[in-house]
């Protein structure tokens, strides 16, 4: 679950579900809407999301997480094809 302060959110994504490359690709894709710092911490990738654009319609962090998960699914499917 994301935890937040005024303009920052920290998200923990379990390493069994998400691939690092998929997360960094999502961060690049959403770079116009926020800043992302990704690090491995135990069984999770921890993503610090800062400078979130308040003028964007929708939830930037939730969309980022969805994109990272979709990227992971695509990569895993390609690896097993």
Report residue 61 as tokens.
């962090």
Count of structural domains, the chain: 1
Q: What is the residue-averaged pLDDT of the chain?
A: 90
Question: 4 versus 56: which is more confidently predicted?
Answer: 56
Whole-model pTM: value is 0.85
Structural domain boundaries, residue 32 = 3-79
Of 78, 79, 81, 66, the C-alpha closest to 18 is 66
Q: Domain with 52 in it: what CATH number? A: 3.30.70
Report residue 44 as tokens.
């999770």
CA distance 7 to 80: 39
Main-chain phi, psi angles of 53, to 5 degrees: -70, 110
- pLDDT-derived band at 2 (thresholds 50, 70, 90) equals low
């Amino acid at each position: 679950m994301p935890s937040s302060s005024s303009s920052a959110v920290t998200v923990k994504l379990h390493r069994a579900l998400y691939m690092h490359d998929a997360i960094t690709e999502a961060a690049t894709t959403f770079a116009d809407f926020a800043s992302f710092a990704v690090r491995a911490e135990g069984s999770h990738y921890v993503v610090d999301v800062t400078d979130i654009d308040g003028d964007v319609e929708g939830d930037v962090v939730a969309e980022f997480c969805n994109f990272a998960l979709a990227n992971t699914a695509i990569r895993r499917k390609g690896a097993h094809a």
